[in-house]
């Protein structure tokens, strides 16, 4: 692809009226109060670059990559400018035209394209936890000797991690419980396969409980969002074609995922492949079938459990679920059906600061955003925080541990699964 084709057109950036609505919604501006950390400034920087008044130096690149792609600016712009989309287009252009760090191809082409390697990479963390090394480190206070960023990275993973990836634990075809009413595919994301395998196992059980036969292809690869976010557009398109080909082998009513980021990305395959004559129609057909698990369960009319869990639950809206897919009522419906008390926290739809890798690339900003979010979680008085994105689960779990809060971080569908279990145990008793 010609790099020039990746650049935004005048219509996509020129009509910014600098009203500031995006500024007040932007999480990076809220914590830094710097104009350069706002969507309005990024649009202006892109315009200056495209008009030949600015070179793509290190500061320019950093500003483009500091965007969390939370989509809040896209949603509020009164003239239809989409600053988050412009940032992604610029990243793709910079990837093609500027020297890149040597580690980038190793991570995005060598690691994220290989599910087995992702699984193997979890082994050191599993050993570290299961042998008690993490507990020992913390009991001796040695973790406090680490720099703040390393200290947070050390406790980012939930404990304990699953011993086996979910892909190795379930068959490719999973039968419905009772009468089969639906036949769906399940897109198993990278983190759901490894870090949050228990959550995705719960999603599968809930789908089966609601009459779904589930096709779970073992060769599924990363949805491609990490590559899209870092400008690796060619690799993203390779992954998209691979995943489309896997699922189109079967006649499926829907392709379900319990990852907000995966769902948002999968729903965009059709858009990104629209100019590919071989794949355009196939990609569009694929994307039309994609559903978030909460979206699909509400769509088919999930069975409400007879007993509710004695929990007080609040909910964080993942950006790529609420704004990327316009799915926000459905997770709340599932939570309310599953627990005795649901409480809305202030700013439920504001970004938690994760954006996948911000804790690595923009640590101070990511941490400051997380601090504000955790204060609102604590103020809710909930003992469970539900959210439907693994990146958010990692980030919010870290915040809960940093503040020593007695709050579990779970996927909404895990609550429904637990309620079904409670109902079943009541029937046995």
Across the chain, mean pLDDT equals: 94
Averaged pLDDT, 167-180: 96
The neighbouring-strand residues paired with 183 are: 213
Residues 84-106, mean pLDDT to the nearest whole number = 90
Single out the residue of 365, 348, 371, 366 nearest to residue 356, CA to CA.
366
Give pLDDT, residue 9: 83
Q: pLDDT tens-digit profile of 144-161?
A: 999 999 999 999 999 999
| Pairing, β 212-215 against β 173-174 | antiparallel
pLDDT of 429 over the 60 cut: no
Mean pLDDT of 367-385: 97
Which of the pair, 2 or 137, is modelled with greater confidence?
A: 137
pLDDT of the residue at 427: 65
> What own/partner pairs with CB < 8 Å and gap ≥ 24 does 400-406 have?
400/374, 401/155, 402/152, 402/155, 402/374, 403/374, 403/378, 405/374, 405/377, 405/378
Whether pLDDT at 2 is above 80: no
CA–CA separation, 226 vs 114, rounded Å? 13
pLDDT of residue 101: 87
Over residues 398-408, the pLDDT tens digits come to: 999 999 999 99
- pLDDT interval class at 100 (50, 70, 90): confident
Q: How much is the pLDDT for 36?
A: 87
In this predicted model, what pLDDT tens digit does every residue of 29-83 receive, in sequence order? 999 999 989 999 999 999 999 999 999 889 999 999 999 999 999 999 999 999 9
Cα-trace Rg, the chain: 22
Contact between residue 68 and residue 28 where contact means Cβ atoms under 8 Å apart: yes
* In the predicted structure, residue 1 carries a pLDDT above the cut 60: no
Could you read off the pLDDT of 329-354 as tens digits, one per residue? 999 999 999 999 999 999 999 999 99
Percent of all residues in the chain with a pLDDT value above 90, rounded to a whole number: 89
- Average the pLDDT over each of 106-110, 268-272, 307-311 and give the range with the smallest value: 106-110
Looking at the chain, how many residues does it have? 429
Please choose, from the candidates 95, 4, 78, the residue with its C-alpha nearest in 3D space to the C-alpha of residue 40: 78
Would you say residue 358 has pLDDT above 60?
A: yes
Predicted pLDDT of residue 12: 84
Say if residue 3's pLDDT is above 90.
no
């Amino acid at each position: 692809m010609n790099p020039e084709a990746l650049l935004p057109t005048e219509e996509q950036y020129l009509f910014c009226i600098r009203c500031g609505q995006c500024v007040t919604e932007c999480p990076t501006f809220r914590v830094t109060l710097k104009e350069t950390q706002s969507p309005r400034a990024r649009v202006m920087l892109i315009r200056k670059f495209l008009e030949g008044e600015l070179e793509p130096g290190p500061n320019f690149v950093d500003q483009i990559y500091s965007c969390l792609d939370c989509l809040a600016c896209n949603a509020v712009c009164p003239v239809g400018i989409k600053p988050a989309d412009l940032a992604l287009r610029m990243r793709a252009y910079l990837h093609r035209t500027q020297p890149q760090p040597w580690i980038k191809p190793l991570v995005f082409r060598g690691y994220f394209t290989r599910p087995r390697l992702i699984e193997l990479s979890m082994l050191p963390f599993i050993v570290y936890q299961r042998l008690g090394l993490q507990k020992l480190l913390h009991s001796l206070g040695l973790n406090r000797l680490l720099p703040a960023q390393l200290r947070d990275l050390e406790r980012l993973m939930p404990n304990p991690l699953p011993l086996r990836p979910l892909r190795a634990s379930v068959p490719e075809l999973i039968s419905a419980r009772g009468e089969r009413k639906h036949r769906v595919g399940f897109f198993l994301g990278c983190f759901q396969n490894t870090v949050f395998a228990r959550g995705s196992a719960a999603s599968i059980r809930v789908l089966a409980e609601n009459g779904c036969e589930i096709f779970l292809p073992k060769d599924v690869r990363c949805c491609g969002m990490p590559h899209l976010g870092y400008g690796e557009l060619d690799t993203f398109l390779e992954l998209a074609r691979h995943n489309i080909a896997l699922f189109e082998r079967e006649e499926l009513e829907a392709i379900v995922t319990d990852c907000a980021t995966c769902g948002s990305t999968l729903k965009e395959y059709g858009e990104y492949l629209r100019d590919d004559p071989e794949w355009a129609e196939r990609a569009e057909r694929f994307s039309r079938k994609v559903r978030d698990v909460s979206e699909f369960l509400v769509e088919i009319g999930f069975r409400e459990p007879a007993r509710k869990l004695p929990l007080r639950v609040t909910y964080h809206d993942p950006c790529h679920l609420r704004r990327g897919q316009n799915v926000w009522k459905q997770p709340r419906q599932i939570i309310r059906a599953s627990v005795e008390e649901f409480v809305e926290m202030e700013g439920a739809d504001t970004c938690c600061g994760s954006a996948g890798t911000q804790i690595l690339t923009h640590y101070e900003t990511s941490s400051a955003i997380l601090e504000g979010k955790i204060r609102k979680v604590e103020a809710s008085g909930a003992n469970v925080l539900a959210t439907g994105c693994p990146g958010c689960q990692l980030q919010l779990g870290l915040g809960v541990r940093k503040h020593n809060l007695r709050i579990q971080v779970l996927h909404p569908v895990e609550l429904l699964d637990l309620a079904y279990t409670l109902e079943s145990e009541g029937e046995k008793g």
